[in-house]
Structure 1
């Protein structure tokens, strides 16, 4: 008895059977009424049995037909969704109509299939492109799972460790000699030797998830070649600048020393030889002092100390620096109250240089100087505007010891940019748009 009740419960729990029962129930009253009339109104037995069979068959046929009409679209939808679950987005439901409820559902499922197919195609193409890039770049890339076992390595990584990927996959970071780099907190370059090469390496780590599991990405960049090229260029620039300045000072010293030697070799000595000696030695001393100032200025560029970071009221600093300029009143357009983290002495020197350059330019045209600042929540921008003649050549602005001002040292802007970059900021100069003059913009992170 229990098994019968369980079987009946299972039968009734099936959606198809419930639809069939509802279809039978909808015609039950009409069938019972028809049979009652048929068997109580004196019809012959043949007519009664024939009509009873016809009514019963028609009733059952309509019930099963209604069942199929409801169930078949649902089966089609189930097949479509199963195909999508299996990754086949090419199957489409047919005969869908917009004025039919099931038809609208079919149309939406077809649209979902088309969207998923396009997205998968895009993902496949993006994955193929990423794989190609990863294989071709000259940066060693390693991927480790949560147990620090290698799951991916590109060609550069294979060359670095001098082993093929098939022999490395699944090995631990410790056995590959990468455990120290994998746990390294600092992002400073390291000097290491690997089976495939030695040098100075940039190390970057990042975490990501694949299939819900944590992974670590380790990227090693060979900095040796780039550093050597930069070092060579730096030495070339240094030799060029030093050679130029030394020649400018030593050539007149050599010429004057030769002239003085000729004077002293004359017999008898000329009557004004003492005056000539005094003038010559004065020139030699002047050029020697100039050469000493040049070397001192170069030392300042090379020995800029690390900034001592502390909270600083930017508006107060700008007002204080503007008050130091006595040649021309500096107009301040006050921005929002802003506190930056910076070295007060270095930032003050930077602003002094910018305002001094702006005043120098504006004095030539009897113009004015304006300072303002603004912030967007992530960085603050200090803008110094002058009404001078503008910049004729911007390519040499930050070249050490290049200057267009008589008596200029050529290190002010270079030093200012070094200070800005030491604080994680930038310094740019450009001609103002729509009017005469130059705009210096200092950007610092908040």
Structure 2
């Protein structure tokens, strides 16, 4: 509506300008006709044609000045629109009311453009804020690989503070760079990084003569871990239920039979063998019941009771508890919190349980090696609290590294395959993650991210 009013004013100004031009030309023609009439009559004073000549010259000058001034202002107005220079203003006065109306219309047009540009900039800032705060990572790059947009979620997922060119992602992993450049319109792919598993979805659009690719990045790792853990929990519930139902009566009958043999049966070699066999069945049945009961813990982890926890105090309690075991194994334990005031929101008892489990594994792995050492550290990384347990033990082979958090899987001869699975379950309830990396013979690190 505002633009319609401005255009109406422009049309009015143009009509008034045309009318004034017609009037000026008419006056100029009338003066010229009178000059020729006086000359043709021949009866005149010498000063009369001179006066008419000056009047004619003045009218001609005024007409040229009026048109040129209008053309200059019109050119300035059009250039202001062409180059989006809406800071121009047109001062009214000096050339008549019609010319003032035209200048007023010019100013109103520029004001309308200024307002439209301000609204456009506000919308752009709004969209930029939305893009930067959504949880899905977004990257936009052209055919040359130049990145024109990367939001905070993408920076967090990729672990980069800024990104100017897609090739810069080679520092993260070359596979990611190759995958991004190969994605076509509607293309989808999966890329596994050290800490995240990314689902990529690409769209292609064109601005001017340049094509741009928009890639959405979503970390599907937590969703996959949750579904996997739920599947394992359901399996464990079924297995423990069936095993408990079968083993419980066996253990009970074995205990009854053993008691009957002790009380009533005569003492003979055959009876002793039977008693030994029944006793063995009883012990093994009870051991199996305890074993199954341990696995049921994976399905019965209580909801965390969150509170603000000082990591330095948490480390101190765990270190005091584990220090005698480390001294007995001749393994050095070092702790570090950076910054010392670092805190996290978590269930302190459950986090202690994780750290005790990880430290026990690290101590057992490093024991017996020269310069055996375990490091317990905490720091901030990409706005997340990261707690790491590292040891210089023999390490974990690559084939086993991806399975260490799976229930029942263990690399230790006497392991149960429960500890790390329980750690992952607790971290999932904390909306965090646990990961492992290892360089065999050099260093193994388990990282908790809150």
Higher RCO (Cα < 8 Å, 6 or more apart): 2
With normalisation by structure 1, the TM-score equals 0.47
